[in-house]
Amino acid sequence: MISRITRRLLTAPALRRGISSDSSRIQSAHQVFAGLTKNRPVYRITDPVEVIREPSVFYQGLLRGISLAKHRIVLSSLYLGSDESELVTALDRALAANQGLCVDILLDCLRGTRSDSRNQSSATLLAPLVRKYGDERVRVAMYHTPALNGISKRLWPQRYNETFGLQHIKAYVFDDELIVSGANLSREYFTNRQDRYIKIGSRGLALYFEELVRSIANFSFRLGNNGLLAMPVGVPDPSLDPREFVTVANAVMTGFLSRAQAENTISSGDVDEADTLAIPTVQMSQLGITQDEEHMREFFHITDAFARLHGCRNLMASAYFNFSDFHKRNVLRSSSRWDLLVASPRANGFFTASGISRYIPDMYSIIEHEFLKSSGGRPDIAVEEYYRDGWTFHGKGVWCYLDQKLPQLTMIGSPNYGYRSIYCDLETQITLIPGTAGSLQNDLHQEALSLLSHSEMVSEASLKKRIRGSPLWLYGLKPFILKKM
């Protein structure tokens, strides 16, 4: 059965004010989105871009990338699952076969040192590689948020202390090839946890993410040959001296972003309509870096202005219906048509959780209901929930259709577009503006349709019925959920 949102994506948007949809009278996507390329690094992509749809294919792509890499492997994730011995074995074989190969791994310190029932963690899994090949060839960095410090550091237990802020960037580089995703390096993300994954062949982007990860590593804990974590010489411990840590980290990141922009600028006159453009953006609000937030603000402004004249529709996906006030405000004020895709309660990663966490899907339903109520029943704003038997949903990103039946822009990366994405975590995403050459636009459209084929639209009335009977204390937890989950 085709969902109502799927039907909406298969049809052109309603025209505004009688303006013709004749594409010859409307600017190209490159012209419409020219504002997104200002003051940001921009990469021209000449090789085909592959849209991966299934987690098993993503996993095979990781193994293939590791086996073929000769010079660089860069893995940036929230954590490495403590059962992922196959990935570690693949890294071991690649390092043994290629003396010139270096591996950079960036994880979150709190999540990466959290132990399972066997006392295993990301750190213990990677320590043998560091010991075997040395910390010059295998560089494992673990970022620690400066927001968790002092007495809070001592009092908050594992798992709950991760609500203060995390390293959330997901990017995987193999020589001159990049897979950008929202997926972590853990078994469920390789089997039945649906996310998004795009493979891009680009030396420029590969070098960008290599330098990004190494820049963050410069103010992160390092895993040494002795298996212990230590901060780089001269860098303060974020849990002991957070203010000075932020000063140091901000200087490192400001320098990196300035260099990346200066070295990768494309003027509008140099862009051919056949070119696909890639624009990486970074958000690290705790460190004073708000590039992605500014990028999203410009995107909302551009699409709203375009929609007033020609019509525009956007699909925005997130693992959780926990969009920030910034995102909800811009959606509700927009002249564009907005479809929001999130996990249904049964496809939420917390659905089978124990303790208080099992109520989190109910809280998201409450937030969904309040959002649709605040929309005033606008027919051009809709919410759809993903459900696939035995699967969970972790997809995130944006598809923008402007005036045509195929998307003319997509955003993909780690942000869930919530409060944490803006104010707490380290995030990055890539904005892709497809060129007229190749099949990227159609591939992105088919990706959206594939996700929506497992989705069902919800209404204010259906959500009201669902949340009826929810415990009153759950409403009191809403401010915490909005800012911490």
> Which amino acids are annotated catalytic?
168, 170, 175
Q: Is 10 left (phi over 0), alpha (psi -120 to 50) or beta?
A: alpha
- Name the residue among 33, 93, 17 with its Cα closest to residue 276: 33
Gap between the Cα atoms of 485 and 476, Å rounded:
15
Residue type, 172: Y
Which pair of structure tokens corresponds to residue 151? 């007495």
Note the helical H segments in 134-241. 150-155, 187-191, 203-217
Q: In what order do the strands lie in the sheet with 49-52?
A: 49-52, 197-201, 177-181, 171-174, 72-76, 102-108, 138-143, 221-223, 229-230
Beta bridge partners of 172: 75, 179
Neighbours of 194 (CB within 10 A): 22
Distance separating the N- and C-terminal Cα atoms of the chain: 33
Which whole-number Å values give the CA distances from 177 to 45, 60, 202, 210, 433, in the listed order?
Answer: 11, 14, 6, 11, 18
Residues 6+ apart with CB under 8 A from 38: none
Report the length, in residues, of the chain. Answer: 485
**Is 258 exposed, middle or buried, given 0-12, 13-18 or 19+ CB atoms closer than 10 A?**
exposed
Which whole-number Å values give the CA distances from 354 to 72, 189, 347, in the listed order?
Answer: 41, 21, 16
Which pair of structure tokens corresponds to residue 33? 């989105």
Backbone phi, psi, residue 413, to 5°: 165, -150
